[in-house]
Structure 1
Amino acid sequence: MAHAEISDVHLAEMAREPSRFRSLAASLERGLGTLVEIPLMFLVVAEIALLFAGVVSRYALHRPLIWSDELASILFIWLAMLGAVVAFRRNEHMRMTAIVASAGPRLWAYLEVFATSAALAFLLLILRPAYEYAYEESFIITPALELCGTWRAAALPVGIFLMAVFALLRLVRIGDFRLDAAGALSVVLLMGVFWLAQPWLQTLGNINLIVFFVGLAGFCVFSGVPIAFGFGLSVFGYLALTTRTPLVVLVGRMDEGMSHLILLSVPLFVFLGLLIEMSGMARAMVAFLATLLGHVRGGLHYVLVGAMYLVSGISGAKAADMAAVVPVLFPEMRQRGAKPGDLVALLAATGAQSETIPPSLVLITIGSVTGVSIAALFTAGLLPGMVLAVTLCALVWWRYRGEDLSHVKRASGGDIAKAFVVALPAITLPFVIRYAVVEGVATATEVSTVGIVYTLIVGYFVYGLLVYRSFDWRRLMPMLIEAASLSGAILLIIGAATGMAWGLTQSGFSRALAAAMTGLPGGSATFIAVSIAAFIVLGSVLEGIPAIVLFGPLLFPIARAVGVHEVHYAIIVVLAMGIGLFAPPFGVGYYAACAIGRIDPAEGIKPIWGYMLALLIGTVVVAAVPWLSIGFLK
């Protein structure tokens, strides 16, 4: 009996062992997560302070800080990588879950493990090249601060290592050894098949672009692997198995894509969007629009279209635009019976619609890589955005023409006037930002800090003390981390897409595309039509900025040669890329909309196609009528 009792005790201890491991893994995850979030929060604050100090020093004191951009660039890559780490820990990296959501519980659990294992595989594969890249950067000394380049480049191996640790901890927390083994074995077998097929793959030439960038990337995306890691695995496999390119080059391209200084505006504009929402400024702007349109059928959907158009003048980042309007509009729209899928579909469509509204990051990128005047692009982008807004509103009218509004009260003239007065300080913000850019007070990257300072002052003293009393200083810390996390997820995708774009360049695909488009029959009309189709695809696969960096210098000279105004062509390209960027299944912007709206991507797949058609019609109208783009240019 004594032996039996001892045996039972041992069995009980063994049964409790998995739960102990899960508990230990959860504790380690929380502790390590806090250690990452604290410096990440200070990095965002440091960037805001540094860039705003640069504006004040240059414009007010006439003593520019020659080292500010260099230090901002060093801090930015750390912000991007640590933000990606926090996003991984929170499971906030963008992913396609349409198939995963339809699976049964057991298959869903397996796909979750498979996705984590695939991400872990990419991180482990890229860790050594990232370390080698950081070591090679040690031979580079920065010109202004005279710092070793490793101080900056070390962010890549550190971030990759931390994400790998969180991936392992997540697998341990699952606590099902057989499930973990099945997911990991599936990834290993898939990698083994590609490795064994290497001799055959090397004979395929550019067909490998389809095998890896369409086949493997598509398989990863649809199986629920986060987009960034799916793209990363596809380009890693392409370079490792079909070329002799050192893999450290891939890390360099990812670094280049993630750390372009103009992208520093992404986390800052995201934070600005969160600040506008918290302070009550977004609430005031949307409330004013709601008094004008809230009583008509589909009224709040019109408000969403108008709010995105208005807020896009505040922020050059679509994630920030969506983050500003979603918390204000979505709860009321849900109460009126709007379906979550339709909400996120319209949100994504308005993100595409407002891509040309300044200050647009894509327009700034076009100007930087093609030499087209950014001021001209900013002027040209306003009216085309309005044309697309009209086509979206036409579809909203059709879909909601039978909406029951018997319970909705129409706002009086006094209510409208009161709402306008309350909203006026908030409505002024887009004009402050535009003035700062146009008059040269701040660059497109720095202007977000002007908006942040304005919002802190107006949000606290006007809306915090007088109107809503909603300004809560305690929320700033979580908002800083949230902005960095969302930005890290976005920037990691851009880094992976930049690596993919570089792979396309090395394959000769971009040159072949340019040559084919130069020889098209039908002149400028055919060239524009093919450009729209091509950039819809490129916007979906490569994301806007990498696509412009890759193809802009090739195609803009062709546009000039066939008689298309370069500003008009730029607007067409941005609109087409916006459609691709926000169209499932590959559009990154669509997943950003789902993440911000906290809606499963599968729910918006069906309703979004009507909005995409409306956007395409609007794009064709803009393409057919050049005056809409260049009519107001001097």
Structure 2
Amino acid sequence: MHVKSQKLDPIGPATKHASTQSPDAEAALTLKRVESIVGRLVEGVAALLIVAEIAILLSGVVARYFLKTPLVWSDEVASLLFLWLAVLGAVVAFRRGEHMRMTALVHRLSPSAQAFAGCLALTAALAFLVLHLPPAIAHAREEASVLTPALEISSAWRASALPVGLALMALVATLRLLRTSPGWRPLLAALLAVVLACGGMTAIGPLLTDLGNINLIIFFVGVTAVCVLAGVPIAVSFGLATFGFLSLTTSMPLGVIVGRMDEGMSHVVLLSVPLFVFLGLLIEMTGMARAMVAFLASLLGHVRGGLSYVLLGAMYLVSGISGSKVADMAAVAPVLFPEMMKRGARDGDLVAMLAASGAQTETIPPSLVLITIGSVTGVSIAALFAGGMVPGLVMGVCLCALIGFKSRREDLSHVHRARIGQIGRAFVAALPAVALPFVIRAAVVEGVATATEVSTLGILYAVIAGLLFYRRFEWRRLLPMLVDTAALSGAILLIIGTATGMAWSLTQSGFSGQLAALMAGLPGGAGTFLLVSVLAFIVLGSVLEGIPAIVLFGPLLFPIARQVGVNEVHYAMVVVLAMGVGLFTPPFGVGYYAACAIGRVDPRNGMKPMVGYVLALLVGLALVTAVPWFSTAFIPAR
């Protein structure tokens, strides 16, 4: 599958002409060489970090489960290395121009305006990095006095990753800006635009302090929307809005921004993201993906929309095993996307379907969001797990109905129904691949590995299956695969880090408490409360990750649900699915851009197809909200 990567370089004929006709070709060549040297060094270190993470986590599983001698330091070291992996991966993504952007509006501009927009994107990114570098250095200094519990080393070894990573990203952004600029005019115009924007906001800062919560709209809606629509990377847009809000409307130290980014990017559960990304690449490289697709195609290939149903089923099957929807999508998409593209599927429709399947499976246990709800609200986690299966099926049925409608005219004249013998042979060939999700889920359920560690067992399983069963393992592809994994993971984790900072800012503003008080006073009883909760959590889900949103609002709203007579498990399913719809709905849903990054698809290509899938999800959400039985039918009796 060949999909154009979304680049930060200025785009268009003017750019290409200027780069080839540059009067200072020697200087441009020198810049390119410096960028190449820095890039290769960072890529090599990032690749080694992924290998180290796999080795450490796998060693921890073997020592704890098989040798009965846990490595008390393994999680600590894995967490330390993970933040370095996240920021260095973000550096690689900057160099390769793979940070997610929204370019639907930019691509409608003239070539000269597109060139300016490209310079503006890089200049805004550079401003974001420069503004956050001093707080990052201060954060690392503060962590120097903190000792880790197991190894008793300074936490500065981990926290230093942020200033180092931000500095490297700033260096790479500067080199790319100088090397790819189509001329001094668009470069100067972009620099002037960013300086004027920052200066203008600073000048009106005293006026903003008196506006109260109106500042939330100005920064988290207005500034974010302007940046996103201008083609500025999503992570940078979130970061600039948060920085502006805290620096201009509050007296809080700016170091807290970096602290929240640190917290968001280094959450141990997210370590499964790069590992599952790498597992997906391994499945494709070893031939497991081809065998699995061949078997699934033999079963459903003759049905209109057959592989689309397989995608939904696969997401339902593997959902929750990693604790991260991003990791779930990364495990499934590389297996199915290539074959679906060969059969004529459009990349935009595929990524929209992938994003919708992520929202569909938010309640499937074992779900980290459900575990978080249980921990902060006191609702039985066993009851939440029992209640989560059917709502996911309801959402899936609605998506299947849409797929059936969209594929009703699919041309299957060239497709023949497989015979029983062909299906049997395909099943034998695909058995190791088909068994992988069951092996992973069994490892989690039986306590062999945690949701974070289980991906390493999957990697080991894939390596063994590739070497011994499929006899296909291309060693020369390992380094490029590791680098691709680092770049994709870094792009995703930087978005999550800046989104976490935004979530914290919303909490400090008092918005969460005001929202809870408003909802408690609504007329109309349970029906109105559920409707407003759905709308509120769709909005919250579009700007917050599920866990931060639940931590912020769960303790406030679940008691209100009990007061108005809404079953707690039912309410949990409603809010989780509502957040899922918001999380995967563009233009602000972080999950949508993560799906685009995993599928290597330009976000604008999935915008139009996503409308239909969002409508199908809303129908499913309405059914789950209106019929409590879907959520409570299988709750065990107390």
TM-score relative to the length of structure 2: 0.91
Please say if 1:412 is aligned against 2:382: no
Task: Evaluate the alpha carbon distance shift between residue 480 and residue 339 of structure 1 in structure 2; reply closer, same or farther with a 3 A threshold.
Answer: closer
Please say if 1:111 is aligned against 2:117: yes
Match of 1:94 in 2: 100
Does the CA contact (< 8 Å) of 1:297 and 1:405 recur in 2? Answer: yes
Counterparts of 1:358 and 1:454 in 2: how far apart (Å)?
A: 23
Match of 2:11 in 1: none
- For 1:623, which of 616, 622, 625 is the aligned residue? 625
RMSD in angstroms over aligned alpha carbons? 2.1
Match of 1:456 in 2: 463
- For 2:347, which of 340, 343, 346 is the aligned residue? 340
Please say if 1:291 is aligned against 2:293: no
Task: Evaluate the alpha carbon distance shift between residue 356 and residue 472 of structure 1 in structure 2; reply closer, same or farther with a 3 A threshold.
Answer: farther
Cα deviation, residue 359, structure 1? 4.5
Runs of 4+ in structure 1 deviating by more than 6 angstroms, as ranges, are none
Please say if 1:149 is aligned against 2:151: no
Cα deviation, residue 439, structure 1? 2.2
Please say if 1:529 is aligned against 2:536: no
- For 2:474, which of 472, 496, 504 is the aligned residue? 472
Match of 1:256 in 2: 263
Matches within 5 A, 1:564-583: 564-583=566-585
Counterparts of 2:283 and 2:207 in 1: how far apart (Å)?
A: 55
Please say if 1:242 is aligned against 2:242: no
Matches within 5 A, 1:312-391: 312=319, 315-372=322-379, 374=381, 376-391=383-398
- For 1:42, which of 32, 44, 48 is the aligned residue? 48
Cα deviation, residue 364, structure 1? 4.5
Return 5+ residue gaps in structure 2 as ranges: 1-20
Cα deviation, residue 547, structure 1? 2.2
Cα deviation, residue 220, structure 1? 0.5
Task: Evaluate the alpha carbon distance shift between residue 287 and residue 384 of structure 1 in structure 2; reply closer, same or farther with a 3 A threshold.
Answer: farther
| Alignment size in residue pairs | 615
Give the secondary-structure state (helix, strand or coil) at the position aligned to 2:144.
helix
Counterparts of 2:196 and 2:280 in 1: how far apart (Å)?
A: 44
Cα deviation, residue 367, structure 1? 4.5
- For 1:67, which of 60, 66, 73 is the aligned residue? 73
Does the CA contact (< 8 Å) of 2:399 and 2:613 recur in 1? Answer: yes
The worse-fitting range, judged by mean Cα deviation, of 177-186 and 354-363 is 354-363
Q: Which AA in structure 1 matches 2:296?
A: L
Task: Evaluate the alpha carbon distance shift between residue 262 and residue 335 of structure 1 in structure 2; reply closer, same or farther with a 3 A threshold.
Answer: closer
Please say if 1:307 is aligned against 2:309: no
Match of 2:500 in 1: 498
The worse-fitting range, judged by mean Cα deviation, of 576-585 and 155-164 is 576-585
The percentage of aligned residue pairs carrying the same residue is: 67
Task: Evaluate the alpha carbon distance shift between residue 613 and residue 477 of structure 1 in structure 2; reply closer, same or farther with a 3 A threshold.
Answer: same
Counterparts of 2:320 and 2:422 in 1: how far apart (Å)?
A: 26
Cα deviation, residue 272, structure 1? 2.0
Counterparts of 2:225 and 2:331 in 1: how far apart (Å)?
A: 31
Counterparts of 1:419 and 1:553 in 2: how far apart (Å)?
A: 50
Q: Deviations over 1:363-405 (max 9, x none)?
A: 4444454455555544443332222121111111112212221
- For 1:32, which of 34, 38, 43 is the aligned residue? 38
Cα deviation, residue 233, structure 1? 0.4
Counterparts of 2:26 and 2:581 in 1: how far apart (Å)?
A: 49
Match of 2:407 in 1: 400
Cα deviation, residue 476, structure 1? 2.3
Q: Which AA in structure 2 matches 1:113?
A: C
Counterparts of 2:407 and 2:194 in 1: how far apart (Å)?
A: 46
Give the secondary-structure state (helix, strand or coil) at the position aligned to 1:169.
helix
Give the secondary-structure state (helix, strand or coil) at the position aligned to 2:24.
helix
Counterparts of 1:455 and 1:339 in 2: how far apart (Å)?
A: 29
Please say if 1:430 is aligned against 2:437: yes
Match of 1:606 in 2: 608
Cα deviation, residue 198, structure 1? 0.9
Match of 1:554 in 2: 556
Counterparts of 2:629 and 2:424 in 1: how far apart (Å)?
A: 35
Does the CA contact (< 8 Å) of 1:437 and 1:447 recur in 2? Answer: yes
Counterparts of 1:303 and 1:132 in 2: how far apart (Å)?
A: 49
Cα deviation, residue 612, structure 1? 0.5
- For 1:126, which of 114, 117, 132 is the aligned residue? 132
Matches within 5 A, 1:137-176: 137-175=143-181, 176=183
Match of 1:6 in 2: none
The worse-fitting range, judged by mean Cα deviation, of 352-361 and 121-130 is 352-361
Counterparts of 1:282 and 1:379 in 2: how far apart (Å)?
A: 31
Please say if 1:52 is aligned against 2:54: no
Counterparts of 2:304 and 2:341 in 1: how far apart (Å)?
A: 15
- For 2:288, which of 281, 288, 294 is the aligned residue? 281
Cα deviation, residue 279, structure 1? 2.3
Does the CA contact (< 8 Å) of 1:375 and 1:438 recur in 2? Answer: no
Q: Which AA in structure 2 matches 1:337?
A: G
Counterparts of 2:273 and 2:474 in 1: how far apart (Å)?
A: 23
Cα deviation, residue 140, structure 1? 1.0
The worse-fitting range, judged by mean Cα deviation, of 602-611 and 230-239 is 602-611
Cα deviation, residue 297, structure 1? 2.0
The worse-fitting range, judged by mean Cα deviation, of 439-448 and 612-621 is 439-448
Task: Evaluate the alpha carbon distance shift between residue 600 and residue 99 of structure 1 in structure 2; reply closer, same or farther with a 3 A threshold.
Answer: same
Match of 2:220 in 1: 213
Cα deviation, residue 327, structure 1? 4.1
Counterparts of 1:401 and 1:108 in 2: how far apart (Å)?
A: 39
Task: Evaluate the alpha carbon distance shift between residue 60 and residue 367 of structure 1 in structure 2; reply closer, same or farther with a 3 A threshold.
Answer: farther
Q: Deviations over 1:297-331 (max 9, x none)?
A: 22232233223333436544333443444444434
Task: Evaluate the alpha carbon distance shift between residue 65 and residue 186 of structure 1 in structure 2; reply closer, same or farther with a 3 A threshold.
Answer: same
Counterparts of 2:95 and 2:443 in 1: how far apart (Å)?
A: 37
Please say if 1:186 is aligned against 2:216: no
Please say if 1:76 is aligned against 2:78: no
Q: Deviations over 1:240-264 (max 9, x none)?
A: 1111111011111111111122222
Counterparts of 1:233 and 1:240 in 2: how far apart (Å)?
A: 10
The worse-fitting range, judged by mean Cα deviation, of 168-177 and 521-530 is 521-530
Does the CA contact (< 8 Å) of 1:344 and 1:599 recur in 2? Answer: yes
Counterparts of 2:466 and 2:632 in 1: how far apart (Å)?
A: 37
TM-score relative to the length of structure 1: 0.92
Task: Evaluate the alpha carbon distance shift between residue 479 and residue 356 of structure 1 in structure 2; reply closer, same or farther with a 3 A threshold.
Answer: farther
Counterparts of 1:453 and 1:70 in 2: how far apart (Å)?
A: 22
Cα deviation, residue 148, structure 1? 1.1
Counterparts of 2:271 and 2:305 in 1: how far apart (Å)?
A: 36
Does the CA contact (< 8 Å) of 1:51 and 1:72 recur in 2? Answer: yes
